[in-house]
A and B are shown apart, each in its own frame.
Chain A
Amino acid sequence: MDLKKFFQDQNKKNQIKILTCGSVDDGKSTLLGRLLYDSQNVFLDQMNQAKAESEKYGTQGKELDLALLIDGLQAEREQGITIDVAYRFFETPKCKFIIADTPGHEQYTRNMATGASNSDAAIILIDAQKGVLEQTKRHSFIVNLLGIKHVVVAINKMDLVKYDQNNFEKIVNEYKNFTKNFNFFSTNYIPLSALKGANVFSISENTKWYTGLSLIETLENIHIQDENVKNAFSMPVQWVNRSSSEFRGYSGTITSGKISKGDLITTALSNYQTSIKNIYGPKGELNVAFTNQSVTLTLKDELDISRGDTILTKDNKAIIKADKFAAHIVWMEQESMLPERNYIFRFNNTYINGQITDLVHSINVNSYEEIATKRLNLNDIAYCKIALNKMHSITSYKNNHQLGSFVIIDPYNNKTIGAGMIDHALRRSSNISWHEMSINKETRSKQNAQQPCVIWFTGLSGSGKSTIANILEQKLYTINKRTYLLDGDNVRHGLNKDLGFTDTDRVENIRRVAEVSKLMADAGLITLVSFISPFRSERQMAKELFQLGEFFEVFVSTSLEECEKRDPKGLYKKARAGELKNFTGIDSTYESPENPDLTLDTKKSSAEQLADQIINFLKDKKIV
């Protein structure tokens, strides 16, 4: 064996990452098993294991069940379905393939988007007996949304429709029809039987009418072009290498274009200008470096550039400094997305907090209709506007997948709950700057001779919030403190009278009250807020509007049972009777505070005593 030639060939092989998507029972695992098996990428011991398992779980009688080479996890073997994204490797003399195998059933759309995000091409499986299903449309939509350019439509189980050409063409036409507005560079249609191996590696006798290539030849011939290479240079700073006092390098992976020693560069956020002194690649010093290379750059001038910034050449006009942008997002979590809620946005080299300010519309992935919507649920796809709490270098996903993508993280449990693709930066708001007033919070509190703050009461309806807040306000008044009490019921009659009791409206209700209480604290008042405020994240959002020591969360901990017993306004009775919808504690959740500044037990003490307890607490905090 000529090893030198082998390595030369290996190095010439293209690496192609492929996403496979299909509905349950389209025969996807069988197809993958077939690809591995026929390309001789299955080892003997793996075969033997699959054979042993075929006898136990197989669906092909005594025959080897090819799907069992693929269905990895124990749970799936028992259920006979695939549950997560799995990666498979196989190679042919021409190509190295990495296959992202994603499940087809509806509730796992998030996995498909995950697989699609790193794929160059997609195989979309259609069962010849069933034709185009809703899921086929959903999968194709996601493939297009995630910017995959090459699609192979594999019409499988042709053996079960007698390799009928009309059947095949009917599906092809239907598919062409609903994808006519998509941005695919190439779409190939192949009649297939994964089970029998027809048209997988070689053309079958049974489809003499088919003039195209086999599946594997089609995949080998996909020409993947990295458009980014031709664009202007960009590299997000990933790591600052300060290995000695003389060495300061900026490490990262080049996301577009090329860079040479001596090139003039600028930084997107800090706006420095200098030139490249030296380039270090994995194999040492380089004169020029290209897209996808991990490098370390040293610069002519000593500058302080940090992770989160991006190094660009001056001709790069596609990257804009902005804090607002429009994007498509895919929601990936059970808990709904609510506008204005605080989320963490994870970009290429930084995390930034922000909010989804406007849900422009969601998209029905079966009919591709745009729908007005107020919230997003698991697997929903939408177009929206996002506001970040600080500036970032923004570019469109179309221009650059690495820089134009982001994931959304829940700040309370760190789960990845969504993914997004930037459409364009919104520059409107950069013209509005906060007007610095010469009379400020400090001067006002001096005049009032008091430290303004917000005391935020939270608890179930009927827990005693308003009663205690009322007594507290009286007590503060008698010691000459300037106060204001914002009460849930009162505010809902005025400022918030357009809001109902759905989760979306509850979030907006609290956001407005939080902003109003901020203005009041700014005006120098001790502000008492008495709102059920059932969600942890909105209370946290309110808290984050204030400085340390300005916001106190007081939990009136009366139990649901006790509140229902008291029922001062008769509301629980109505809610139980079904006359009131979305009532906290009954059919809408209340999330108790995890770390309140103060917890009040109305069973042990009177409202009067509890108000005194707060006064003592405020004394400790030097507020009164």
Chain B
Amino acid sequence: MNLSHLEKLESESIHIIREVASEFDNPVMLYSIGKDSAVMLHLALKAFAPGKLPFKLLHVDTTWKFKDMIKFRDDIEKEYDLDLLVHINQEGVKNNIGPISHGSKLHTDIMKTQALKQALNKYKFDAAFGGARRDEEKSRAKERIFSFRDQHHHWDPKNQRPELWNLFNTKIAKGESVRVFPLSNWTEIDVWQYIYQEKINIVPLYFAEERPVIQRDNLLLMVDDKRLDIKDYEKVQNKLIRFRTLGCYPLTGAIESSAKSVEEIIVELLESKNSEREGRAIDNDQIGSMEKKKQEGYF
């Protein structure tokens, strides 16, 4: 009997997740509230059923996430009785760091990359799951499933451990850590198909609805709260929109869409001409920008 390709991916991811639980002292699952995190969490719950997850979840909150994301996160925590930690870079909060006042690069560095490092250091996690996929971005395509980080959480793309078969090298020295990507071999369409087949709950922002938006630079931004600082020449319009990926709301462009269900999203996706990261301001602020962020410790 041959497994379908989705069943193969599912099995492979469960294997990876169990491997981490078996070999590391203090793993954590980075939970970003998005669809990939939802799939990763779903797989983790399956890996240890009927038991509870043998590790905590961590959400690095930049304080600029969509309100609906935070609500969804809190609901999921209750529904699955999860042990979820939330970390905010208080230093950044004190200095009022934000994407509008300081730009995407500085904001992402301080509120996301630095915040993540703070949290990893604070709780002394030795392994952290992330929901990244290799088809997302060119530098991700080169990353291992078990991606080694030095004591400063840095990634060295030229000095990665060879990864053969499914024999992951989980050996690290004190202070070092590993980022683990169980969804490495999934594509965007695989994720959506799995969400559909498994009826996985996702944040409502993925579904089209009339929402207040403005056009700024090349992005269609949703007016999620007052901090967006709308200029006189910017017009707030109600449009039927949805999001292909979710991040900080002033950095995440919406797309005009009428897809109100997972089925409709999949149809739209199959007909779409743009990749999902296109709506992300942070990828495009310099050439090779994701790779630079990753070397510095971004997920």
Contacts and interface: CB of A to CB of B under 8 A. Distances in A.
Given A74-B288, A239-B18, A414-B169, A13 B162 contact: no
Contacts of A238: 15, 18-19, 22
Nearest to B275: A43
A30 to B, nearest CB: 16
A83 B158 contact: yes
Given A74-B292, A296-B49, 19 more contacts: A44-B274, A72-B139, A73-B139, A73-B291, A74-B288, A77-B288, A98-B185, A110-B162, A111-B162, A229-B1, A239-B21, A239-B47, A243-B48, A292-B3, A294-B15, A405-B165, A407-B169, A416-B161, A419-B162
Interface string A1-25: 1010011001111110000000000
Interface SS majority for chain A: mixed
B291 A45 contact: no
Interface in B191-210: 193, 196-197
Interface string A233-270: 00000110111100100011100001000000000000
A351 B162 CA distance: 17
A86 interface: yes
Interface of A: 1, 3, 6-7, 10-15, 43-46, 53, 56, 72-75, 77, 83-89, 96, 98, 110-111, 113-114, 117-118, 226, 229, 238-239, 241-244, 247, 251-253, 258, 280, 282, 290, 292-294, 296, 307, 332, 344, 346-349, 351, 401-402, 405-407, 409, 413-416, 419
Nearest to A237: B22
A243 B166 contact: no
B263 interface: yes
A236 to B, nearest CB: 10
Interface string B259-290: 00001001100101111011000000001100
The interface centre, meaning the residue of A77, A84, A293, A294 with most chain B CB atoms within 10 A of its CB, is A294
Interface string B69-89: 000000000000000000000
B10 interface: yes
A293 B138 contact: no
Contacts of A85: 142
Contact of A53 (B10, B270, B278, B287): B287
A307 to B, nearest CB: 6
Interface of B: 1-8, 10-12, 14-15, 18-19, 21-22, 46-52, 134-135, 138-139, 141-142, 157-158, 160-167, 169, 171-173, 184-185, 187, 189, 193, 196-197, 263, 266-267, 270, 272-275, 277-278, 287-288, 291-292
A117 B2 CA distance: 20
A329 B22 CA distance: 27
Contacts of A247: 50-51
Nearest to A308: B22
A11 B5 CA distance: 7
B194 to A, nearest CB: 11
B164 A113 contact: yes
Given A72-B138, A253-B15, A282 B163 contact: no
A402 B187 contact: no
B158 A409 contact: no
B162 A113 contact: yes
A111 B144 CA distance: 12
28 contacts: A3-B267, A6-B266, A15-B5, A15-B8, A43-B272, A43-B275, A44-B278, A45-B277, A46-B275, A74-B287, A74-B291, A74-B292, A83-B158, A86-B138, A87-B185, A89-B134, A89-B187, A117-B165, A118-B164, A243-B48, A243-B51, A244-B50, A280-B50, A282-B11, A292-B11, A346-B167, A407-B162, A414-B169
